[in-house]
Structure 1
Amino acid sequence: MPVPHIRLATADDEEALGRLDRATWSPLHAVQPRPRQPYDLFFSGSCGPRDHLVAELGGEIVGYLRLGFPTPLACNTHVRQIQGLAVADAARGAGVGRALLRAAQDEARRLGARRISLRVLGHNTPARTLYESEGFVVDGVLPEEFLLDGRYVDDILMGRFL
């Protein structure tokens, strides 16, 4: 099985990343409604290509990870937060998510972070299992934080030291 190639995103990736983001939308991990046309741009002024790692298999973009700051506070800049992770259905099981997580930890260290955090929905067992296998631990739970498809869902805060 080929190993995913991980790189920083470029402005030229915007269309492909937008398509991937829409194709992978699921109530398993999304708290926003399903995207509808006209679609928003994938990159924004506060979250551009430099904030995204891209996974490629065979030259095709099959995943991304958004790495940002958890808050705008200067006293919190030693922490980076995973603010999005998506893997194309056809690439699931190929190690793409794991490769993106490891690359994000390396990138966070390179940027001077001491810690990395994320939020995951309580019912997203596959993601939680992956995060735990990569050393993330539960830092807190916001019980029934979201009402999704008629069900209350916990928001799980996870993190790890780098």
Structure 2
Amino acid sequence: MPDPNIRVAVSDDDEALGELDRATWSTLHEVMPPAQPPYRPFFDEEHRPEDHLVAEVAGEVVGYIRLVRPTPLVSNAHVRQIRGLAVAGTARGQGVGRALLRGACAEARRQGATRITLRVLGHNTPARSLYAAEGFAVEGVLPGEFHLAGRYVDDVLMGRGLTTY
């Protein structure tokens, strides 16, 4: 697979991103139940196109990452938070997630951020390994925060600085 093209999402990506989001749903990374028809638009007032980077290969959307300010407070305007990452099954293990993470870090720096954070479910070993490989460290754990598929799962808080990378 060729290297993915990482770009800012546009409103025309709504349908493809909605389909990708539904196709990649799993209790490995999702705390909400799966979406049911009729499906809501992917983009709305809280999830704007400009808050997403999209990975494309040969013109096909194969992934996205959502990057937002964690709060509207001026006191943490220097922080960006990843609030969603999805990679199509056919593109997994081929560097798409890594490219999206690197793109998000670059975009956060471009926006003036000096720190980036995320939350990941404790049992999501592939994601945690990727984040660690890209410089994210565990900064906190909320033990048993979620009950998914019959078991309690930790909510792991990770972060990294953006001044050196």
1:157 match: 157
CA distance in 1 between partners of 2:20 and 2:116 (Å)? 24
CA distance in 1 between partners of 2:136 and 2:82 (Å)? 12
Aligned counterparts, 1:81-160, within 5 A:
81-160=81-160
CA distance in 1 between partners of 2:36 and 2:80 (Å)? 30
Post-superposition shift, 1:94? 1.2
Post-superposition shift, 1:138? 0.3
CA distance in 2 between partners of 1:28 and 1:68 (Å)? 22
CA distance in 2 between partners of 1:25 and 1:132 (Å)? 22
1:29 match: 29
Q: What value does the CA root-mean-square deviation take over the aligned residues?
A: 0.6
TM-score by length of 1: 0.98
2:43 match: 43
Aligned counterparts, 1:57-76, within 5 A:
57-76=57-76
CA distance in 2 between partners of 1:73 and 1:151 (Å)? 35
CA distance in 1 between partners of 2:8 and 2:112 (Å)? 17
- Which blocks of at least 5 consecutive residues in structure 2 are unaligned? none
Post-superposition shift, 1:61? 0.1
- Which blocks of at least 5 consecutive residues in structure 1 are unaligned? none
Post-superposition shift, 1:46? 2.2
2:15 match: 15
CA distance in 2 between partners of 1:125 and 1:79 (Å)? 25
Q: What SS class does the counterpart of residue 119 from structure 2 fall into?
A: strand
CA distance in 1 between partners of 2:58 and 2:92 (Å)? 14
Q: What SS class does the counterpart of residue 42 from structure 1 fall into?
A: coil
Q: State the number of aligned residues.
A: 162
Q: What SS class does the counterpart of residue 25 from structure 1 fall into?
A: coil
Q: Which moved more, 1:41-50 or 1:103-112?
A: 41-50
Post-superposition shift, 1:83? 0.2
Q: Which moved more, 1:72-81 or 1:89-98?
A: 72-81
CA distance in 2 between partners of 1:92 and 1:11 (Å)? 25
Q: Which amino acid aligns with 1:150?
A: G
